[in-house]
């Protein structure tokens, strides 16, 4: 069996590694050059894109911002999973909000801004704390503007006047006093079988994920059930096939959808060592119509992103139940260079393991880690 992945970054690489034990071959598409490459070393393969599509049993994506003409070409094959509408909804916040509204999925109070004139009176409607998000091409904190006082609005209006809001509208969301950010990674295969992983708790810095802990602390059965129901409602409505990430705000006992990602997701990397089946193999199983694997956990896990640095002390490889994943990239500010997975038998011991890990890291690049380790150790 063969799977062709659009996008040739670390997610395609991890799908390749997860698929190999199943005897599944994975190739990737460099969406900039439209060449077919080996996901591990990025070497160009001696095969045309059309031939790779013909030979593949399934086509999929590692990120949602694949050029639309490539998505349409892939969709015409009848082998693209998830379907093109799902991918486009994940790539465009306006479509995403319309999808959530259409199926009655609770999300943040918001307005779609296509002209600066629509900003008149917006603080009376949404309050003085608003986050503005570009509807396309924004990620890891890019393409976002925060309003914390009405006095800042005129300066933002001037900035927005330089943007083409007709081409790329803004989504203005009321900033919520949520308790925490969590996410649910789930999967649905061609036959409609659904499996959801445990909820992960996510810590961000400057709009970028730094640490995920799963199963999250203080998650009762009703909250997990509520998240699973949101996933099921969304995935069935979209006729979704593959892994889908649902990012959520927890407000007391209520969950609001923040964003969806139609692919394997950074907050699911903990499943590589923390689960019976990783999100990467689960995605391969789903798009090929294979039975989904167990989502049982091996205790509790943390995923720590390595961002903007590569001076990691290899001594961490000597720590028990600690796993290093490097992506082979050149260093750049805010660039995800790799991640570290840590597994333990309790949240308290996980905290102790994370504290031990800090001795091997340049901590200025890991601003959330020390406090989170102490919180878990004392939980």
Q: What architecture does CATH give domain 180-377?
A: 2-Layer Sandwich (3.30)
Give the residue carrying structure tokens 């460099």. 30
User: Could you give the dihedral angle defined by the CA atoms of residues 64, 67, 68 and 71, in that order, rounded to the nearest 10 degrees?
Assistant: -70
In angstroms, the CA 344 to CA 353 distance is 8
69 CB-contact burial (10 Å; exposed 0-12 / middle 13-18 / buried 19+):
exposed
pLDDT per residue, tens digit, the chain (379 aa), is: 999 999 999 999 999 999 999 999 999 999 999 999 999 999 999 999 999 999 999 999 999 999 999 999 999 999 999 999 999 999 999 999 999 999 999 999 999 999 999 999 999 999 999 999 999 876 655 789 999 999 999 999 999 999 999 999 999 999 999 999 999 999 999 999 999 999 999 999 988 999 999 999 999 999 999 999 999 999 999 999 999 999 999 999 999 999 999 999 999 999 999 999 999 999 999 999 999 999 999 999 999 999 999 999 999 999 999 999 999 999 999 999 999 999 999 999 999 999 999 999 999 999 999 999 999 999 8
Architecture of the domain whose range is 2-80: 3-Layer(aba) Sandwich (3.40)
* 181 DSSP 8-state letter: E
Whether residue 83 has a cis bond before it, omega within 30° of 0:
no
- 217-255 per-residue burial string, b: 16 or more CB within 10 A, e: under 16: eebeeebbebbbebbeebbeebebbbbbbbbbbbeeeeb
In the chain, domain spans? 2-80, 109-174, 180-377
Cα 281 from Cα 319, distance rounded (Å): 26
From the candidate CATH numbers 3.30.1490.20, 2.60.120.380, 3.30.1490.270, 1.10.645.10, the one assigned to the domain spanning 109-174:
3.30.1490.20
* pLDDT score for 140: 57
């Amino acid at each position: 069996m063969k799977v062709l992945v659009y996008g040739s970054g670390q997610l395609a690489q991890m799908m390749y590694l997860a698929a190999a034990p199943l005897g599944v071959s994975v190739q990737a598409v460099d969406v900039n050059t439209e060449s077919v490459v080996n996901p591990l070393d990025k070497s160009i393969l001696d095969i045309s894109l059309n031939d790779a599509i013909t030979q593949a049993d399934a086509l999929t994506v590692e990120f949602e911002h694949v050029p639309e003409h490539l998505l349409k070409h892939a969709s015409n094959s009848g082998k693209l999973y998830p379907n093109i509408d799902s991918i486009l909804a994940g790539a465009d916040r306006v479509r995403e909000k319309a999808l959530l509204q259409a199926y009655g999925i609770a999300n943040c109070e918001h307005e779609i801004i296509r002209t600066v004139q629509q900003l008149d009176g917006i603080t009376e409607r949404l309050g003085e704390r608003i986050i503005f998000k570009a509807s396309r091409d924004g990620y890891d904190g890019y393409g976002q503007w925060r309003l914390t006082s009405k006095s800042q609005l005129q300066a933002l209006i001037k900035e927005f006047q330089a943007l083409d809001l007709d081409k790329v509208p803004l989504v203005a969301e009321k900033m919520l006093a949520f308790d925490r950010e969590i996410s649910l990674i789930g999967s649905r295969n061609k036959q409609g079988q659904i499996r959801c992983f445990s909820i992960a708790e996510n810590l961000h810095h400057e709009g970028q994920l730094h640490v995920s802990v799963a199963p999250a602390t203080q998650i009762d059965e009703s909250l997990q059930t509520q998240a699973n129901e949101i996933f099921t409602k969304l995935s069935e409505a979209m006729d979704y096939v593959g892994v889908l990430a649902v990012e959520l705000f927890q407000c007391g006992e209520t969950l609001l959808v923040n964003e969806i990602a139609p692919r394997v997701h950074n907050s699911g990397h903990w499943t590589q060592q923390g689960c019976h089946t990783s999100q990467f193999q689960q995605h391969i199983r789903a798009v090929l119509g294979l039975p989904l694997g167990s989502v049982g956990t091996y205790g509790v896990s943390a995923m720590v992103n390595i961002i903007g640095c590569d001076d990691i002390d290899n001594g961490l490889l000597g720590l028990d139940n600690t796993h290093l994943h490097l992506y082979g990239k050149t260093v750049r500010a805010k660039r995800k260079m790799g991640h570290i997975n840590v597994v333990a038998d309790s949240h308290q011991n996980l905290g102790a393991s994370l504290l031990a890990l800090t001795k091997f890291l340049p901590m200025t690049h890991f601003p959330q880690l020390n406090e989170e380790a102490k919180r878990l150790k004392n939980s």
